[in-house]
Structure 1
Amino acid sequence: MAKKMASQGDTSIKDNLRWTEEIDAAFLDALIEECSKGNRVEGTFTTTAYDNGFDCEWNDWQPTTHSTSFVAEESPDLGNSNQSNGTQGNHRGSKRKAPMSGLFEADMERMSKGIQGLTDMLKDGNNYYDKSLDIASKQALTAERQAETAEKQVMLAERQVLIAEEQIQVAKIQAQAVERGITFLEQSRARIYSENDVYNELKKLGVVKEIFWSCYRFLCRDERAKREFFGVPFEDHHGALYDLMKEAGAI
C-alpha cells in the first residue's frame, strides 16, 4: 500500500513539472562554456561536454511546480533523479542530450546562417558600391572629355571668326584696288566723244544760234580740238572754244 502511494506521489510530481526556458538558457550557457574549453570537436560536443553541462545545470537549478506536465521527449525523469542507480543516470543523460544538443545545434546553425547572410549583404553592398563608383568615375571622365571637346570647338570657332575677319579685310582691300584700277583706266583711256556729245554740250553752254552750227562743225571735224574742249572743266568751255576756233582761223 505504501509503495502504491509513493508511486502515485511520484506520478503527481512528474505531472506538475515541465522543462522551462530558464533551463534551456542555463544549459546553453553551459554548452557555450564547454565549447570555449575545446570540448566541441568537428561540430559535435563530446560526452565530457554534455556531462559537465548537465552537472552544472542540475546543481544550480531547482525544479518548480507548474500546472502543465513534462513533454516526454524533453523532460527528465525527476521521480527517479535522486536514485543512485547507474542505469537511471544514463537514461536521464540519454533523454537530455539528444533534444538539448539539437536545440543548441539549431541555434548555432541559425546564428551561422544569420552571420553568413549579413556577410553576403555586405559583399553585395560592397559590389554595388564598387560598381556605382566605377560608373561615376566613367561618367566624370566622359564629362571631362566632353568639356575638353567643347573647349576645342570654341577655340576652333574663334579661329574661324578671326580668319573670316581677315578675309573680309582682304576683300575690302581688293575692292579698293579694283576701284582705283577702274578710275585709273577711265583716266588713262582716250575718251571718244560723238557728235551728239558735242551738240548737247553746246546747248548746255547756251551758244547763240548765229555761231552755234559753226562751233558744232568745227568740233566735229577737229578731233584734237574736241578732246581739248571736253578736257577742261565745264565753266571753262566758253574760253577754250573761243581760243581753239581763233587759233584755227575759224572766226
Structure 2
Amino acid sequence: MLHELATGGKCRQIIRMSENAFMILCQKLESDGGLRSTQRMTIEEQVARFLHIIGNDFRNRFVSWFYYQSGSATSVHFHRVLNAIISLEDQYLIQPTGDTVQKQIQEKRRFYPFFKDCIGAIDGTHIRVKVPSKDAPRYRGRKGYPTINVLAACTFDLKFTYVLSGWEGTTSDSRVLKDTLTREDKLNTPDGKFYLVDGGLPLKSTLIAPYRGVRAFGVLKRRFPIIRSTTEPFYSYETQSQIFLACCILHNYLLEVDYDRELEDEVAQEVLNATQDVEDHAPNAMDDRGEQIRESIILLGLWKLTVIQFLYENKLAMSKKDGTSTRFHWTTPMDTAFLQAMITKKDNGNRIDGTFTPQAYTNMVEELGKAFGMDLTKDHLKNRLKTLKDHFSKFYDVLKGNSMNDFSWDPSTKLLGAEEEVWEKLIKKSPEAAKWRDKPILHYHEMLELFAKDRATETPDSQAKYPSFSKSKKRKLEKDDEFTTTLMSSINNVADAIGKSTKDLCKVMEGSRACVYSEEEIYKELEIMGIVSEEEIFDVYLFLVERPEKARALFGCPLNKRVNMLRRMMGA
C-alpha cells in the first residue's frame, strides 16, 4: 500500500492528505504520540491503514480481508493510532485568548471593527453511534437513530478550538452548551469577547445569535466520511466519540501543513446554496421536465398557503359580521419556538419551583412576538403553557408507573413505539392507553424535559386545578374544530389535484433517469460474483448501497473483471 501511495498519485484519495503531510504526521505520532513500530508492521503502515478506514468509512472485516490480516490485529493497530492522535489534543485544540483580532475579520471591512471582539463560532452536530438496545431511547433523537450530540467551537479559519462529544442524541443543544460553560475543562470566553452561535442556542453577552455560516463541520465530514455515515457504526459508542475527536485534531493539523482550498470552496458553495452533500445522494441530471416537477412542488406549497389565508380571512370576516370574536390561534411552529424558549429559560435558572420568573415571561413575549410578527401578551403564554401541560398529562399519566425507557418516540411519525409485550401489559392495566399506539404526539422530548418532573410530583388535588370548560365554551371549541377540519380538507383536496399532475411528470422523468440498483439487486449481483465470504459481503454491500454511482460502474463491467474493479474502487 505504501508503494501505491508513493507512486500511484492517489494519496489524497486514499488517506485524505498529501504524501508529505502523511510523512510529517507519522514522525509527529512517533515523537509526540508515542506510536511505535511492531514486529510485523511499521508506523507508516499503521497510520496509512487507520487513515484508509476513517477516510472511507470501511468496516473492520473488509479492511482485514483487503490487507490479508486478522480482525484482531486490525483492531489493535487502529486503536494504537487513535490513542496516539488523541494525545496531540493539547497541541492542536487550543482555545483563543482574544489578545489579537483574527485575520479573517481584520482584513474585511464588512466585519471590522464590528466583530473585532468575536473569537469564533459555536455549533453542534449529531454523529451516529451503536449502543445497547436498552439505552437506545436516550440516544434516539430527531434523527430517528441513536446519535451523540457534539458541540464544538471554531475560529474563522475553520480550526476547531474546543470539542465536547458524548451527550445523548435526545439532549437539547442549550443543555450541552450549559455543560461546556460549567464543567472542569470548560469553554473559556475572555472578558469582553464573544462567540457567534446558532439560533437554537441561548442569547448572552458572550453568545451572539443567530449565526448559520459554520463550515468547519462540512469540511470535517467531507474529509472523514466515518463520522458522516448514517449506517450503524462498527465501533462502540465510546470509540466513535474518540474517532470524532481524532478527526478534529487531524483536521486542524491538515489546515497547517496541507491546506485544501478546493475542499473548502466546495463546502462553502454548498452552504451558500443550502444543498446537501453530493455523496449522500445518487446523481440526478435535472432537465426541463425536472424543472417542471420542481415548479409543481413549489406551486403545491403556494396553494396551501393561499387556501389557509383565504379560509382564515373568511373566518375572521364572518366573525366580525356576526359580532363574535376569535380566540388566539397557536400554530405548530409557534409551539416549537415557545417550548424551546422555555427550555432555554429553565436551563438559565429562570424557572423556580416549576414557575417561570416575570422577567422570563417578558423576554419570551418579546422574542416570540418578533419572531412571528404578532402582538403577544403574558396571558397568551400562560394560557398556552396550561394547554401544553394538559396535552402532556393525557399521555404521561397513562404511561406513568412504567419505565419510560421501554418507549421510544419516532420523530418522523410522531408515534410512541415499544415492544408488543410492553403495550399489551400497559393496555391490560389501562385500556385508554390503546389510543396512544397510533396517535401522534408533537414535541415529545421538549414536553418531557419541561413537564415530567412537575407531573410526577403533583398530587390529585393539584392535578385538578386545570380548568373545565363550560357548555358555551365547549360549543365554541367544537365550532373551531369544524373550521380546522374544513381547512385541512380543503388543503388536502388542492394537494391531491396538484399531486396527480406531478405524478404524470414523474412518469415521464423515469425514462431519462440513470439506472439505480435497489438494495436487493446489489446483494444478488454480489452473490453472482462469488468473490467474498458471507461475513465480508456485508461490507461490500454497504459500500455500494451508499455509493449508487459506483454500483452502476461496477455492474456495468464484464463479470470476469468485476473483482479487480471492486478492489480498485474500495482501495481508492
With structure 1 as the length reference, what TM-score do the two structures score?
0.23
Determine which structure has more spread, i.e. the larger CA radius of gyration: 1
Higher helix share: 1
